[in-house]
Chain A
Amino acid sequence: MGARNADSSAKGSRSKLITLKINGQKTTVTVPVRRTLVDLLRDNLRMTGTKRGCDEGTCGSCTVLLGSRPVYSCMLLAVNADGQDITTIEGVFQNQEALALGRAFASTYASQCGYCTPGFIMSAYALLRQNPDPSERDVRFALSGNLCRCTGYSKIVGAVLATAQGLKEGQSR
């Protein structure tokens, strides 16, 4: 094959045109390849419900759903979300589970300063979608990638369990 010029075939790019489906809505943007998804959401698309806390994968406040799975949007390049379904806190309340979670968080003081709340709602919603009848252990495990500096967690775990219970009763009624 001989030595090929590095510039000719392996040029690569510094920005890319991507298409995301965010909360059901198709969005096409050109992003610098080094932009993370949380920066794209907040700084370019002005969707500031998703919070940027630590920006290094250690707090969970930036959690969004990629497909049905919760991920840290600060640890994902926007180009790696190309072609995928993304759900953020702005869109999740279209679903009854999330709405019930939001109400339970508000009424039981599971949200205090509120900075961690969007991330917790996303993780809890992903859990309830996958397992509508979780044990306390399941809830703690599913929320183990989210930090809260205010509540001490008990109220959050309680809110998720109460939501699951409420949804179950609602169904059997």
Chain B
Amino acid sequence: MKGFTYLEAASAKEAVDILEELKGQAKILAGGIDLLYLMKKGVGPKYLVDIKGIKEMSSIMVDGDVLRIGALATLSDIASSSDVRRELSMLSDAASRVASPQIRNVATVGGNLLQNVWCWYLRNGYPCWRNEGRGCPAASGENSTYFSIFGGRFCVAAQPSDLAPVLVACDASAMIVGPKGTRAQHLQSLLSGSAAEDGKGPPPTFASNELLYEIEVPRLKKGTRTAFCKASVRESWDFALASVSVAACFEGGVVTDARIVLGGVSTYPYRAVEAEEAIIGKQLGKETIKSASRLGVVKAKPLQMNSYKVMLTEGLIYKALTSIADDQATGRS
């Protein structure tokens, strides 16, 4: 495994001070699942700053109108939290399907959101732009699984986190501590950074001297129904080929507001705006669901080897919306 120098931070401020001093050479160590995997392939930073001593960063709690999830909460903590189950069952569902029990017991939500992409080339040490090199070999290479069907400026690997699209569907924000204090940023814009910019470098929105402190999720409005669907080759231990997260608000049987977010098919959590518009103001009947599902992938531009994911995604949107419509019809919560 690649060697490194180890530092421990006892507070968020101390972590940020260390990151600031080491000027881009250091990374935060949370659960270490993603970091260790990459370091064993020779990809990794010179310094690791261990933050597991910052105990308050693992808490999960309801605080007024928001659910606060500390960046160090493990995926098992999230899956077993009664607060999360009650407030946001689709997050429990998504968390309990990530990887395997042993990984969920260690992996943190912060690390899950900020993990590197699962591209064969990168994971085997290929020097693409994410690994001190240039170019994206997957764009014209093996891109059948964990890759985008909605394009990508300089990397075509999909955002791999199962939790990211769920949290974006709930309009969650990241609380970020940096040298100048704490700031909030919508998770959607934070995770879109790498996709939107000029193609010259890594995500500009999360600086190397910042710490993800916690995730703030607005509590769902009354009348909101949610669903999470994931398609993967294997039941466990496997990333999403595609996932769909839906939060739809109903009033008198009519959808008044909706967010439909796709995972595993884009370089960032992809809001299927066309599908959202197709259900807002309507009752969720079969025909509406059908056309919304088609519209959800209307902008797809698949790569050479992954056009099958377009149909898969359309089918998953159909499945997620149908489950919401069934819940609505039967009054199930």
- On A, residues with C-beta under 8 Å from B are 4, 6, 9-14, 16, 33-34, 36, 55-58, 60, 63, 66, 69-72, 75-77, 79-80, 123, 141-142, 144-145
Q: How far is the CA of A88 from the CA of B259 in the complex (A)?
A: 46
Cross-chain contact A10 with B22 (CB below 8 angstroms):
yes
**B235 / chain A contacts, CB cutoff of 8 Å:** 144
Which residues of the partner chain A approach B237 to less than 8 Å between Cβ atoms? Answer: 58, 144-145
How many B residues touch A, CB cutoff 8 Å? 35
A76–B106 CB distance below 8 A: yes
Q: What chain B residues lie within 8 Å of A123 (beta carbons)?
A: 101-102
Say yes or no: A14 contacts B32, CB within 8 Å: no
Query: Which residues of chain B have C-beta atoms less than 8 A from A58's C-beta?
Result: 237
Determine whether the beta carbon of A34 is less than 8 Å from that of B100. Answer: no
Main secondary structure of the interface of A (DSSP, over half): mixed
* A14 vs B1: C-alpha distance when bound (angstroms): 13
Q: Is the CB of B100 within 8 A of A75?
A: no
Say yes or no: A70 contacts B105, CB within 8 Å: yes
B4 within 8 Å of A (CB atoms): yes
A72→B40 CA distance, assembly (Å): 15
Q: A36-B1, A144-B235 are in contact. List 15 more A-B contacts (CB 8 A).
A: A6-B22, A11-B5, A13-B5, A14-B6, A16-B6, A34-B1, A63-B102, A69-B76, A75-B32, A75-B106, A79-B6, A123-B102, A144-B100, A144-B237, A145-B101
Could you tell me the distance between the alpha carbons of A48 and B100 in the complex, rounded to whole angstroms?
A: 24
Q: Is B308 an interface residue (CB 8 A)?
A: no
Q: Are the C-beta atoms of A75 and B1 separated by less than 8 Å? A: no
Task: Give the docked Cα–Cα distance between A55 and B37 (Å).
Answer: 9
Mask, B135-168, CB within 8 Å of A = 1, is 0000000000000000000000000000000000
State whether B4 touches A80 (Cβ < 8 A): no
- Cβ of A11: which chain B residues have Cβ within 8 Å of it? 5, 7
Q: Enumerate chain B residues within 8 angstroms of A141, measured Cβ to Cβ.
A: 101, 236
Residue pair B36, A77 in contact (C-beta under 8 Å): yes
Task: Find out whether the CB atom of B76 lies under 8 angstroms from the CB atom of A80.
Answer: no
Residues of A contacting B7 with CB < 8 Å?
A: 10-13
Q: B50 at interface (Cβ–Cβ under 8 A)? A: yes
Q: List 5 A-B contacts (CB under 8 A).
A: A10-B26, A11-B5, A12-B5, A58-B237, A72-B103
Interchain CB contact under 8 A, B5 and A145: no
Which residue in chain B gives the minimum CB-CB distance to A126?
A: B101
**Given contact pairs A12-B7, A144-B101, A75 touches B33 in the complex (Cβ within 8 A):** yes
